[in-house]
Amino acid sequence: MPNASNYVELSRQFVEISLLDVAQADIEAQIAWGQLSLPTWPDIIKQHRVVLLSSAGTGKTWEIAQQCRKLRGEGKAAFFIRLEYLASGFSDIVFEGDGDLASFNDAVSKDEEIWIFLDSIDEARLDGPAAFDKALRTLSPHIRNNLQRTHIILTSRVGAWRPTDDAARVDSLFPYNKPKEADQSDSTDDTEVDDFLDDPEPDGADAERKSPITYYTLRHLTPDQMRLYADAKGTPDAETLTSEIVR
């Protein structure tokens, strides 16, 4: 788990994405035109199944480690686990930071809200193609009685996530039933509802809609965030450096 003393709070922003966005969307251009909202961590941790997809070196591990510390500092049950360790078995060795097996089991037994940060899918797969699946199967029995109150945040490089197989595995081992949205119109009759539900959707869209998984990617650092980071690290002439990077 990264050292907290080296972390710089940048209030990182995220972009909610679909599986098609991962491969083809120009996300920064959509942001510039105001077409996308920019969730931050308080929005992300409300979700129950999250996959954070981003390229190497963008800060995924640092960010989830800090959020785990922050939640624990607020007295909440939060645990940072590296998937490559989890594939070897469920014991104290899989926990980093202040978490341990005893506190994990205690949180589950109390049926309280839990956050589990699982890092990272691509690192786990270095040990073999089945390692990620084995890690999930190792964790699943330990939280099966508290799935509705468990928040699971997975990280991965974009290319290491298998949209169909991995999503199906997460949905199968960690099912979550989204609360039904309240009916917002008393005037809609049954026929209109049936017609809406029968509308065709693009290939794969129906499966993604039914899955509880929400996908996010980290937005690139803004110039202000670059300056903040450079200043925090004692970089001489942070303004000039940032200008050169942006240019």
Q: Return mean pLDDT, the chain.
A: 79
pLDDT, tens digit (0-9, with 9 covering 90-100), for 143-179 = 999 999 999 999 998 888 998 899 999 999 999 998 8
pLDDT, tens digit (0-9, with 9 covering 90-100), for 166-219 = 999 999 999 999 887 655 444 444 443 333 233 344 444 454 557 899 999 887
pLDDT in the model for residue 188: 43
Would the pTM count as exceeding 0.85?
no
CA dihedral over 4, 17, 171, 112, signed as positive or negative:
positive
Residue pair 109/77 in contact by the 8 Å Cβ criterion: no
pLDDT, tens digit (0-9, with 9 covering 90-100), for 66-108 = 999 999 999 999 999 999 999 888 988 889 888 899 999 999 9
Residues 6+ apart with CB under 8 A from 201: 209
Query: How big, in percent rounded to 5, are the helix, strand and coil portions of the chain?
Result: 50, 15, 35
Give the Cβ contact number of residue 132 at 10 Å: 29
